[in-house]
Amino acid sequence: MQTSKIRLDKFLVHIGYGSRSEVQKIIKQKRVTVNSQIISKPEHSFVINDSNVYVDGKEAVYSEFYYYILNKPQGVITATEDNRHQTVLDLLDPIDKRKSLAPVGRLDKDTEGLLILTNDGKLTHELLSPKKHVNKVYYAKLSGQVTPDDVLKFATGIELSDGTKYRPAKLEIIRASDTSEVFVTISEGKFHQVKRMALSIGKEVIYLKRIKMGNLLLPEDLQLGAYRSLTSQELKKLKGEE
Ligand code: URA
């Protein structure tokens, strides 16, 4: 239970109404009410749990942590800011695009699929920590015919000629022909890992999509480029509590 007081401008910045100066302007324009009173002083302090805040008649709901799941499209980079490229943060509505949000891990520019964005640093650390071995599942289209021998190589643990060593990984063949379709499960998140593992068995990744992180599946109805808040059940799955 949050009983300490917070300044109105800080509260609105946290929720996503803009920078400190932007929200101060909104407050001075008398567009904000706290417990039905118009408040025009940015420094006005109140207890979050005892208060209802409205901006332009719409409730400003506070959470300490925000968790979003995004179906990342190709062509967008996994960064928070970039001068040249569109970033995953740019896909969020302005109200959700908080400075505190960061992507959990990286997907390459040409990789699609499940990406979590959150301001919960502890969870981010737990999901990315090399010690935790959180499974990530990818669907991939590869050049060439994947063989049972390739499956064995992945299961044994691949070592590249530059000395990079990967933990044992699961390669499941969906279809193997001139090109192949596979699921790859890895428990690390090294640079270009799936692509480099595929190259080590003489195949190139033609298409890559992350479909699962921990126990959390990419929802089938989440369109490419779309995002939404995680449900509490999905959050439990991500945390490995379910
Ligand atoms: N492996 C890769 O090669 N690229 C990604 O984006 C994710 C995993």
Q: Where residue 145 sits, what CATH number does that domain have?
A: 3.30.70.1560
- Looking at the structure of the chain, the number of domains it has is 3
Å from CA of 22 to ligand 1 middle:
38
Residue nearest to atom 3 of ligand 1 (CA): 192
Q: What is the pTM of this model?
A: 0.91
The first and second tokens of residue 7, run together, are: 């300044």
Q: Which residues contact 200 (CB under 8 A, 6 or more apart)?
A: 153, 158, 160
Task: Give the structural domain span for 107.
Answer: 67-130+216-238
Catalytic site residue 108? yes
Q: Which residue among the candidates 56, 108, 149, 178 is catalytic per the annotation?
A: 108
108 close to ligand 1 (CB < 6 Angstrom): yes
Domain ends where: 59, 84, 100?
A: 59
Mark whether 179 and 207 lie in a shared domain.
yes
How much is the pLDDT for 242? 80
Q: Assess whether the C-beta atom of 193 lies below 6 angstroms from ligand 1.
A: yes
Contact 64, 98 (CB under 8 A): no
Residues 118 and 227 in one domain: yes
Residues 177-213: b if buried by 16+ CB within 10 A, e if exposed: eebbbbebebeebeeebbbbbbebbebebeebbbbbb
- Asked if 126 and 141 sit in the same domain, the reply is no
3-class secondary-structure state, position 149: helix
Looking at the structure, tell me whether residues 155 and 192 fall in a common domain.
yes
C-alpha 50, offset from chain centre = 31
71 and 117 in a single domain? The answer is yes
pLDDT in tens, the chain (242 residues): 567 899 999 999 999 999 999 999 999 999 999 999 999 999 999 999 999 999 999 999 999 999 999 999 999 999 999 999 999 999 999 999 998 999 999 999 999 999 999 999 999 999 999 899 999 999 999 999 999 999 999 999 999 999 999 999 999 999 999 999 999 999 999 999 999 999 999 999 999 999 999 999 999 999 999 999 999 999 999 998 98
